[in-house]
Amino acid sequence: MKLDTRQQAIIQAIDAAAEAILSISHQIHSRPELGYQEIFAAGLLANSLEAHGFQVERGFGEIPTAFCARKGSGQGPRVAFLAEYDALPELGHACGHNVIATSALAAGIGLGAVISELDGEIWVMGTPAEETDGAKVVLLERGTFNSLDAALMIHPYSGNYYLTESLAMDALEITFYGKSAHAAASPWEGKNALDAILLTFNNVNALRQQIRPDARIHGVITNGGTAPNIIPDRTVGRFYLRANTRSYVNELVGKFKACVQGAATATGTRFEIKNYENSFDDMVNNVVLAERTRDYFVKALDSQQFQRAPESFGSADMGNVSHFVPAVHILVDVTNGKTLSLHTPEFQSAVVTPYADAALLRSGKAMALTGYDVLTKKDFLEAARAEFTASLGYPPGGKRTTPNLVE
């Protein structure tokens, strides 16, 4: 694939900044921070973008560790490269968010090198807490994506895939309230909240035969009582409910609440149920954007071939973004042929190897080149918009999915 002079300048700008970009990736990796605590990572990225001529708004969307770096005329299309930089408890960057963050940085630096010659604007958005609450959901609700025409990000993985089949998800917390009693002397005076939560698990297990293969229900007991000789009067469980589509997750929630109600009825307890994290939507891949990015990887940047999509991935707040604006979430190989699972010590080590560093820079270049096409090729952007409308039935920015709040 032959690149024009501006596209070549994009590549050259990323190559010139490569040492600094990789240093930032490794620094973020060595200082993991949990969601909404990413002070070091957000500051490092924002400072670098300022040094490359971006106007940076820190505390973006009233989230202290979010930021938005802008460069360009403000007229014409707007393309965003999304950065994630939160880590996991104990495992650190075992999901490779250091690679996500700095590939977005690289894309911004690359496209930023030619933006003065174009009509349009680049955003590099720092989006915290993907592993937990999902700050992109909050930013969407606060209107920060309203003026965007495309949103791009990559995710490190074992293997290359240009589409991501991310599951919709609700995070539900159940609290059962019973009545304490002495478990040996007078158990008949109690109402056992632990029995209620155990019955909930049993009811869910019975439900599994009647739910679709793409559905997932998994949970833990976070409070099961205080002592074996006291009938527990309060217990708490947390569950994730997932499926391929938001509509089926909503259906699962109704079935799940019936399981909880049955457990409460059987034990004479009462319950409360709430969302304890933001709801995530399924990923609506914009294939026009994804195929163009894939082609730049393979035909211009000598990447290995990309498959269509993995069999399963999990859930991500990028799904919510994809319901609002044409978006891609491309999975990029960082393991060099090894089959490694996300959220493991082995993957944590893999995301700072020379192989991963090369994949990071290649990802920044591919996203920047696709972003260039968004800003400069009207027919390409219109095709992406048309596919978005056909997929969801409304124009970009015309509708936002509402989290499935449980009363």
The C-alpha atoms of residue 183 and residue 195 are separated, in whole angstroms, by 13
Per-residue confidence (pLDDT) for residue 130, from 0 to 100: 95
Write down the pLDDT at residue 399.
54
Q: Which of 107, 92, 118, 106 is nearest to 27 (CA)?
A: 92
In the numeric block, the tokens 């490779």 are attached to: 96
d(CA 6, CA 13): 10
Contact between 368 and 375 under an 8 Å Cβ cutoff? The reply is: no
pTM of the full structure: 0.90
Quickly tell me which residue has 């909050």 as its tokens: 138
Q: What is the pLDDT along the chain (407 residues), one digit of tens a residue?
A: 899 999 999 999 999 999 999 999 999 999 999 999 999 999 999 999 999 999 999 999 999 999 999 999 878 999 999 999 999 999 999 999 999 999 999 999 999 999 999 999 999 999 999 998 899 999 999 999 999 999 999 999 999 999 998 899 999 999 999 999 999 999 999 999 999 999 999 999 999 999 999 999 999 999 999 999 999 999 999 999 999 989 999 999 999 999 999 999 999 999 999 999 999 999 999 999 999 999 999 999 999 999 999 987 889 999 999 999 999 999 999 999 899 999 999 999 999 999 999 999 999 999 999 999 999 999 999 999 999 999 887 677 665 444 443 43
pLDDT at 406: 41
Residue 180 exposed, middle or buried by CB count within 10 Å (0-12, 13-18, 19+): middle
Contact indicator for 86, 78 with CB cutoff of 8 Å = no
What domains sit in the chain, N to C, each tagged with a CATH number?
A: 5-166+282-392 (3.40.630.10), 168-275 (3.30.70.360)
User: What's the confidence (pLDDT) of residue 337?
Assistant: 86
**What are the CA-CA distances from residue 139 to residues 63, 131, 298, 317 (Å)?**
8, 15, 33, 11
SS3 state of residue 246: helix
- Tell me the two tokens of residue 161: 């895939």
What residues contact 90, with CB distance under 8 A and at least 6 apart? Answer: none
Q: Report CA torsion sign: 329, 335, 341, 345.
A: negative
User: What SS3 class is residue 4?
Assistant: coil
SS3 78: strand
Determine contact, residues 269/196, Cβ cutoff 8 Å. yes
Q: Tell me if 277 sits within 8 A of 140, measured CB to CB.
A: no
Distance (Å, whole) CA 46 – CA 186: 62
Give the closest residue to 111 by CA, choosing from 52, 50, 153.
52
In this structure, what are the phi and psi dihedrals at residue 286, rounded to the nearest 5 degrees? -85, 100
pLDDT at 397: 64
pLDDT at 263: 98
User: Which residue type occupies 200?
Assistant: T
